[in-house]
A and B are shown apart, each in its own frame.
Chain A
């Protein structure tokens, strides 16, 4: 257990010490909240959908969790050659424990980011609809964080260098975000988009946040929880398997 704690602690310390990275990664969420939030606000209201900032904030929070989580996982590629990872692969610790420690650490960091963006969204005018449900919001943030840290780990275990990283960001992570019901409500859409969104685990996370931070969820919190939960377990399984096969 102490090995898992060691690796978790390391991720958290690294995060807390890189002030410039923390601030830098807040740039995009702030931009989205302000530019899109206030920009699309009037049109959204006109379409009878209410306050766009209220709709957008959970999506932007999910975005920052998504990106931070995937990046934590992808760090493995660098770490493998030049960092602590090589040291851990040679230590008398099972790969599984190493992977769990890293994933928990990366997910913790992603949740911190999500919380910071939540606080910023308050400044942009976001208001929590039902404070009784607020604690559940952390559950959904945690599930999103775990899922995508595990995904990042799984991908990074297979990539040899940072070239593939660009491909992954543009062809996997961005689409996952854009088609998750974060920027626009997932209703009344052409069937192709609708299908993709239904298959996108992030959509269930975003919906969960809509339900716990905002006014309502489209799919129901229970559905969201179970879908996310299953995806998390599956990805931790896949991630550990791929991680255990890393050869340095």
Chain B
């Protein structure tokens, strides 16, 4: 099976601090790939470099054969992304959010109409298509973002903590949507998560990053047997150590808490 994402010797330095230190791995077409790591390990930085939001200090990235630095728009057309924080427009309806995404990605009007209906029905939000997104719960927003991310038929869907803060029923639905898209449309799924049991159940392969380095790669089974553990969570802790990571709150955290204050925790 060919590689759809190839990363070689990827480095990202911020002055003296090395966030991503010579990272190399591949993601095969059509697989569900979990990118795991403790907080501050370099996951988000890596994903940002893959999704053209950040320039690497050095190293090579190929997304569906294209380099994000030289073929930025081609790379952007080939993936969809669901960020950790919602990036929907609250003051627009679900339908309008889908439509706007289509317009930004050059999807023709007829196709936009068809796909919006098809995808909203797929994530079971069609009957709420004319409701303003600000009335949606966290789970509904996440479902809408998945529908929206797939609107332009990308080959890869990046998901940063797709089930964070969601109840079990919604989490279950979300995994079933992702699996369906993966099985029926051949969508490659690249996700990060802290829910190890979920990563264990759905992913074909996993890479674990810590302190900017890939410390282990393989299928969930391989990681468990390598560390002699029964669950992925135990294997993860064995590989990354069980001490809590010190982190600094950044402006994103400040905005998140402001948001919780103003919006009442949705």
Give residues in A with beta carbon < 8 Å to B: 2-3, 5-6, 10, 13-14, 17-18, 78, 81-93, 160-162, 247-248
Contacts and interface: CB of A to CB of B under 8 A. Distances in A.
A247 B53 contact: yes
Contact of B251 (A3, A5, A91, A161): A161
B254 A10 contact: no
**Interface SS of A by simple majority:** helix
A91 B105 contact: yes
Given A92-B105, A162-B258, 16 more contacts: A6-B100, A6-B103, A10-B100, A81-B256, A83-B89, A84-B88, A84-B89, A85-B87, A87-B87, A87-B88, A87-B101, A90-B52, A92-B106, A93-B104, A161-B251, A161-B254
B91 A17 contact: yes
7 contacts: A5-B103, A13-B92, A14-B89, A78-B255, A92-B74, A92-B104, A247-B53
Contacts of A88: 104
A82 B255 CA distance: 9
Contacts of B86: 82
Given A2-B103, A6-B103, A247-B54, A84 B251 contact: no
A84 B141 CA distance: 13
Interface stretch (B76-84, B117-125, B189-197, B232-240): B76-84
Query: Most chain-B CB neighbours within 10 Å: which of A5, A17, A90, A161?
Result: A90
Contacts of A84: 87-89, 100
B105 A90 contact: no
Nearest to B86: A82
Contacts, number: 76
A90 B53 contact: yes
A14 B92 contact: yes
A83 to B, nearest CB: 6
B87 A86 contact: yes
A88 B104 CA distance: 8
Query: Most chain-A CB neighbours within 10 Å: which of B52, B87, B89, B258?
Result: B87
A89 B87 CA distance: 11
B73 interface: yes
A90 B51 contact: yes
Interface string B33-57: 0000000000000001001111000
Interface in B244-266: 251-252, 254-256, 258-259
A3 B48 CA distance: 23
Contacts of A14: 89, 91-92
Query: Most chain-B CB neighbours within 10 Å: which of A14, A89, A91, A248?
Result: A91
